[in-house]
Copies of this chain bind each other. A is one copy, B any other.
Amino acid sequence: MSEPRANLPRPAPAPSVSIAAVARHANVSVATVSRVLNGQQVVKPATRDAVMAAVQTLGYRVNEMARNLRTAESRLLLVLVPDVGNPFYAEIMRGIDSVARQHGYLVVLCDTGADVEREHTWFDLLRRRRADGAICLDPDTVQHALAHDNAHLAWVACAEFDPAMAVPYVGIDNRLAARDAVQHLLERGHRRIGLINTDETWLYARQRKQGWHDALTEAGITPRADWCINTHSLDYAAGNAAMTQLLALAAPPTAVFAVSDTLAIGALAGARSLGKRIPHDVAVVGFDDIALAAQTDPPLTTVAQPMRQLGETAVQLLLDLLADRGRPPAHVLLPHRLALRASA
């Protein structure tokens, strides 16, 4: 055993100074330190200053794991995203993150691949108290499968939802938005209007198809089945392939509505590689209004979703739920708008 060595330079600041150490140093009780730390007004200013001084010199930081055990909350929120790489979700994430942080919550991005099994393992984190709540962006079919087992957990749906579920959600009116987009094409004189849709496990896919159908029939046009392609993913390549397929038709569409900007941008590439000029040979309308949409050639006309606000609202709904678990689930629909650019 060696002597206690007081004045050796430490290689690193002592990583563990507890509330007890601060109390000792300031000659008060741990309770008082806790009060100061939590900004309770009862503490006498002089005492408060002494505590703060001790905190300062000791370099104390609260151990939030301990605090959270005591308060029984983790201050962590989960965001369940089917595809992290999709810019649409990235923007929603930004909205979520900003308001979550304002309220002292941390956000964990969870990649689900729209898979029920993986969803389940993420929901397990809620059961194990690793997280306080979740925001789910997965297909309504997936959500539906989840709903029963997780009814007592705190979660909300964002952008995609099953209206029949007793879960709060925020989204837009997809059917109406799609109808607006197709109507714009009709106004430009198009009569043969294709649809590049995605997997119809998504409610939004079914709803936007409805909107496309609505607009066409209202104009006295009978939608043909071969005008409609269902892709299995949302990536650029899928949009490219779908457009190629559409243009191979005997009487190809003169305009195409894609249910996602990524698909639409891929479609642009597909049309171009066939030597088509846009919008002269084919007009294209997308959906979402991601940042890239303004930079394509030509710039993409698209239905703008309020992505950021979608995320912000979702957190708000979740926090409301956390504050009052008994409240009836709120359902919010946000407005969309048509961003007119050169592609249609």
* Contacts beyond the supplied A64-B130, A93-B109, A292-B292: 16 A-B pairs with Cβ under 8 Å: A13-B152, A61-B127, A61-B128, A64-B128, A65-B72, A84-B97, A85-B90, A85-B94, A85-B291, A87-B87, A106-B108, A107-B108, A108-B109, A109-B109, A236-B292, A237-B294
Say whether, besides A235-B291, A292-B236, A295-B269, A64 and B94 are in contact (CB < 8 Å). Answer: no
List residues of chain B with CB within 8 A of the CB of A111.
94, 97
Bound Cα distance from A272 to B268, whole angstroms: 15
Write the nearest CB–CB distance from A257 to chain B, whole angstroms.
19
| Copies of this protein chain in the complex | 2
Bound Cα distance from A91 to B111, whole angstroms: 12
Bound Cα distance from A87 to B124, whole angstroms: 29
List residues of chain B with CB within 8 A of the CB of A273.
297
A22 at the interface (CB under 8 A from B): no
A296 at the interface (CB under 8 A from B): yes
A151 at the interface (CB under 8 A from B): yes
A43 at the interface (CB under 8 A from B): no
List residues of chain B with CB within 8 A of the CB of A152.
11-13, 15
In the assembled complex, 28 residue pairs joining A and B whose CB atoms fall closer than 8 Å, in A order, are A11-B152, A12-B152, A15-B152, A61-B129, A64-B128, A64-B129, A64-B130, A65-B65, A65-B69, A65-B130, A84-B93, A84-B94, A85-B90, A85-B91, A85-B94, A85-B291, A94-B111, A97-B109, A106-B125, A107-B108, A108-B108, A109-B109, A235-B291, A236-B292, A236-B294, A240-B295, A269-B295, A297-B297
